[in-house]
């Protein structure tokens, strides 16, 4: 009899200890699924915000358990501002652990204590179709006096951001201005009278031939080719013209004798370079360039002043 009483007493003590252990747990962990409920700050000012988290975790895949919709918790001295949820899978000791989380944002109503009551969560194992329950603990929050919010400081970084923004806007404005200027310039050029023959060849001379690029032989041939092309077009001579015809037509244009003599002398050097493989002198290139430019300008001036009629 005494032994039976001792066994009963031991069983009662074991049950009491087990119940006490279960009551001491912060969240339910009766199954392979556990729940944790907490707030980020247990002391919050009246003008602050309470963030209440509910995290449900288990080892395995997210699809292993099906949860009923979680109702908004019952709260005291708090007003729900919004909520959000998410799912993730992490590795814990080399095994996958699924986590389903819900976060609620509350606005305190009065100074004092605020509470988020515990809630019962129902879920089902998708393989065994067994339903189980989890119970979250009640969470308390102390609501204190409101705190004064600091005015936003104008940091140096803000100055840089404003400078970049203003620079970007100015760049766009400048791009638009340049676009319209170029368009108007192109329109004006289209509306201008056509270039004269001399203006055309002056533009070609200045744009296409560069005596200072050290391509002496190439430049010498290009300058003579341009001059011959001008004479052919000026006098409507078909085909390639010889040096003799070139000099004859320059005389017909009443160019200065020393200028024609210079062209004739350089033409002889050009033939030696072309046929004998001699190197061109950079000084001769510049001299020929200037001479052709002067011939074109002389003819253009004579035509503008009406001193000479164009053939």
Q: How far apart are CA 212 and CA 195, in angstroms?
A: 27
Q: How far apart are CA 113 and CA 140, in angstroms?
A: 7
Q: How far apart are CA 98 and CA 57, in angstroms?
A: 6
- The pLDDT, as a whole number, for residue 114 is 94
Q: How far apart are CA 45 and CA 48, in angstroms?
A: 5
Q: How far apart are CA 210 and CA 234, in angstroms?
A: 24
pTM of the model: 0.41
- The pLDDT, as a whole number, for residue 254 is 87
Q: How far apart are CA 211 and CA 282, in angstroms?
A: 8
DSSP string, 206-258: HHH--GGGS-HHHHHHHHHHHHHHHHHHHTT--S---HHHHHHHHHHTT--HH
- The pLDDT, as a whole number, for residue 30 is 43
Q: How far apart are CA 266 and CA 269, in angstroms?
A: 5
pLDDT in 10s for each residue of the chain, 311 residues:
455 455 555 544 444 444 444 333 444 444 588 888 999 999 999 999 999 998 888 888 888 888 877 778 899 999 999 988 888 888 888 888 888 888 999 999 999 999 999 888 888 888 888 888 888 889 999 999 998 876 655 556 678 888 888 999 999 999 989 888 888 877 776 666 688 888 998 999 899 888 888 888 888 888 888 988 999 998 988 888 888 888 888 888 888 888 888 888 887 777 777 777 777 788 888 888 998 999 899 888 887 776 654 44
Q: How far apart are CA 217 and CA 276, in angstroms?
A: 12
Which domains are delineated in the chain? 24-144 (2.60.40), 197-305 (no CATH)
């Amino acid at each position: 009899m005494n032994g039976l009483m001792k066994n009963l007493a031991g069983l009662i003590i074991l049950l009491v200890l087990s119940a006490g252990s279960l009551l001491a747990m912060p969240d339910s962990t009766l199954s392979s699924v556990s729940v944790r409920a907490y707030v980020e700050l247990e002391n919050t000012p009246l003008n602050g915000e309470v963030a209440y988290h509910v995290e449900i975790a288990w080892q395995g895949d997210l699809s292993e358990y099906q949860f009923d919709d979680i109702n908004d918790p019952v709260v005291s001295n708090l007003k729900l501002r919004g909520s959000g949820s998410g799912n993730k899978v992490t590795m814990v000791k080399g095994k996958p652990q699924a986590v389903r989380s819900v976060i609620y944002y509350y606005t305190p109503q009065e100074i004092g204590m605020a509470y988020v009551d515990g809630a019962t969560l129902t879920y089902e194992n998708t393989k065994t179709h067994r339903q189980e329950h989890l119970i979250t603990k009640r969470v308390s929050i102390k609501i204190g006096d409101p705190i004064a919010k600091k005015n936003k400081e104008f940091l140096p970084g803000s100055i840089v951001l404003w400078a970049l923004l203003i620079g970007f806007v100015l760049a766009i404005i400048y791009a638009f201005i340049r676009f319209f200027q170029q368009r108007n310039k192109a329109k004006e050029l289209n509306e201008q009278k056509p270039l004269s023959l001399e203006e055309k060849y002056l533009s070609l001379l200045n744009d296409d031939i560069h005596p200072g690029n050290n391509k002496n032989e190439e430049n010498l041939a290009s300058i003579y080719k341009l001059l011959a092309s001008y004479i052919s077009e000026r006098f409507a001579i078909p085909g390639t013209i010889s040096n003799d015809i070139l000099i004859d037509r320059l005389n017909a244009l009443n160019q200065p004798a020393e200028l024609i003599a210079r062209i004739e002398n350089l033409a002889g050097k050009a033939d030696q370079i072309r046929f004998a493989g001699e190197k061109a002198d950079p000084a001769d290139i510049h001299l020929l360039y200037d001479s052709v430019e002067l011939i074109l300008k002389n003819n253009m001036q004579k035509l503008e002043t009406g001193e000479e009629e164009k053939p």
